[in-house]
C-alpha cells in the first residue's frame, strides 16, 4: 500500500483516484484555492458534477486549507492534477512547504516559457526548486488517450508513464494499473510532455475540418465529406509534431505512441479543443467564440497558443510548422483561421 496525495479536484484528478484506490493505496484528494465549493459538495455526497459520478467511498477528501499540513506528511507520491494555469500556484506551495524530496506524478498538460525558451512542466518545476536552493525532484509524467469521464466509468484505456528512470516508471505502473487502466513506460519524459501539450493545438486544427471542407457547400454535405480534409490534416499534424518533438530533444518515435497519435485521436473525437476548432473552421474569430459559443469553457490548446505562440514564431520557421503557425495567428491575433498546405 502506498500513500498518494492528489492536488486538484477537477475531472482528471478526481477520476485518477479510482485506479489508485482499486490498487489498495491510501488516497487523499485535496482541492485548490478555487475549488472550495466543489470540495464542500464532494464531502456531502461524493457526487462530482463534472464527471456525473460518485467518487470512491475510501477516498479522503480535503479542502485546500489542509494542503500545508498534508504536504508535510509522509506521502509516497504527490500527484499534480491542476490545470496548466494552476501550475505556478501548486509549485509555489510545494516549494514553500518543502520538507523532503517529493516523488511527483504530473497529470497536468502544458508548456511554459523560461528565458525565451520553451520548457516542459517538469523542467519548470525543477527550475523553481533550484532557484530556491532546493534539490531537483523526482518527476513522473502520465499522458495519453484518457478522458476523465471514461476513466471514472472504467471504460478501458491506456496511458504512458514517463520517468528518466524506467524502474521508477515501472513502480508507478504497478500501483495504478488495472484491467481497465493499462499503462506503458518510457524514459522519454520530454517527448511525452511535449506531445501531451501540443496535441491540443493540432486537435483544434483537425476539428476545423468541417468548416474548411468546402465553405460554399451546405452544412450537411460538409459533415458528410469533411473526412477528406481531416485525414490530410491528421497526417500533416503528425509530421509537424514529429519535427517539434525532435527540436525539443524528445524522441520523434514517441509521436506514434499513446502520448502523441493516441491522445490526438481522443482529443479530436471528444474534446473541447476540437470543438473550438470547429467554430474556427466555420470562419468565426477566437474572441467571439470565447464570448459566445464557448463562454467560461477552458480550452487548453488556446491557452497554450497564447503562452508559447510568440516564442514559436520567433524561434522556428513557418515552413516547418505551417499548421501550427496558422492556428497561432488565429488565436493570438484574433484572425480568421486560414490554413495552407
- pLDDT tens, 32-64? 999 999 999 999 999 999 999 999 999 999 999
Q: Is the pLDDT of residue 22 over 90?
A: yes
Q: How confident is the model at residue 316 (pLDDT cuts 50, 70, 90)?
A: very high
**223 backbone dihedrals φ, ψ, rounded to 5°:** -65, -30
Of the candidates 194, 209, 186, the one whose C-alpha atom is nearest the C-alpha of residue 274 is 209
114-151 in b/e form (b: 16+ CB < 10 A) is eeeebbbbbbbbbbbbeeeeeeebbbbbbbbbbbbbbb
pLDDT, mean over the chain? 93
Per residue in 181-230, pLDDT (tens digit) is 999 999 999 999 999 999 999 999 999 987 665 455 455 555 554 567 78
How many Cα atoms within 13 Å fall on the side-chain side of residue 132? 17
Task: Write down the pLDDT at residue 224.
Answer: 54
Query: Mean pLDDT throughout 119-124?
Result: 97
**206 backbone dihedrals φ, ψ, rounded to 5°:** -70, -35
- The structure's pTM equals 0.92
Q: Domains in the chain, please, with CATH?
A: 3-187 (3.40.50.720), 198-332 (1.10.1040.10)
Of the candidates 141, 144, 161, the one whose C-alpha atom is nearest the C-alpha of residue 267 is 144
- Structure-block grid coordinates of residue 7: 492536488
**What 8-state DSSP symbol labels residue 99?**
-
Residue 85 and residue 121 in contact, taking contact as beta carbons nearer than 8 Å:
no
Q: Is the pLDDT of residue 173 over 90?
A: yes
Rounded to whole angstroms, the Cα distance separating 145 from 153 reads 15
Amino acid at each position: 500500500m502506498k500513500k498518494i496525495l492528489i492536488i486538484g479536484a477537477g475531472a482528471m484528478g478526481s477520476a485518477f483516484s479510482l485506479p489508485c484506490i482499486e490498487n489498495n493505496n491510501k488516497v487523499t484528494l485535496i482541492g485548490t484555492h478555487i475549488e472550495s465549493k466543489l470540495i464542500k459538495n464532494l464531502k456531502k455526497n461524493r457526487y462530482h458534477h463534472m464527471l456525473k459520478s460518485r467518487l470512491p467511498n475510501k477516498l479522503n477528501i480535503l479542502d485546500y486549507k489542509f494542503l500545508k499540513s498534508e504536504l508535510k506528511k509522509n506521502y509516497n507520491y504527490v500527484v499534480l492534477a491542476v490545470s496548466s494555469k494552476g501550475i505556478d500556484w501548486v509549485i509555489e506551495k510545494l516549494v514553500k512547504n518543502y520538507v523532503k524530496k517529493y516523488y511527483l506524478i504530473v497529470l497536468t498538460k502544458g508548456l511554459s516559457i523560461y528565458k525565451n525558451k520553451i520548457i516542459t512542466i517538469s523542467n519548470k518545476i525543477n527550475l523553481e526548486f533550484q532557484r530556491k536552493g532546493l534539490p531537483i525532484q523526482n518527476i513522473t509524467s502520465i499522458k495519453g488517450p484518457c478522458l476523465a469521464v471514461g476513466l471514472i466509468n472504467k471504460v478501458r484505456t491506456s496511458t504512458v508513464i514517463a520517468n528518466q528512470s524506467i524502474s521508477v516508471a515501472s513502480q508507478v505502473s504497478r500501483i495504478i494499473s488495472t484491467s481497465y487502466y493499462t499503462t506503458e513506460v518510457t524514459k522519454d519524459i520530454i517527448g511525452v510532455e511535449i506531445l501531451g501539450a501540443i496535441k491540443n493545438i493540432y486537435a483544434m486544427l483537425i476539428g476545423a475540418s468541417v468548416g474548411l471542407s468546402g465553405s460554399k457547400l451546405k452544412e450537411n454535405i460538409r459533415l458528410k465529406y469533411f473526412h477528406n480534409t481531416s485525414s490530410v490534416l491528421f497526417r500533416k499534424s503528425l509530421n509537424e509534431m514529429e519535427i517539434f518533438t525532435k527540436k525539443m530533444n524528445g524522441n520523434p518515435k514517441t509521436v506514434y505512441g499513446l502520448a502523441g497519435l493516441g491522445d490526438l485521436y481522443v482529443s479530436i473525437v471528444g474534446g473541447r479543443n476540437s470543438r473550438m476548432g470547429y467554430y474556427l473552421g466555420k470562419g468565426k474569430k477566437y474572441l467571439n467564440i470565447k464570448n459566445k459559443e464557448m463562454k467560461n469553457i477552458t480550452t487548453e490548446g488556446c491557452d497554450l497558443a497564447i503562452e508559447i505562440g510568440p516564442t514559436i514564431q520567433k524561434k522556428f520557421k513557418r515552413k516547418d510548422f505551417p499548421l501550427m503557425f496558422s492556428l497561432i495567428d488565429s488565436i493570438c491575433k484574433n484572425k480568421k483561421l486560414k490554413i495552407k498546405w
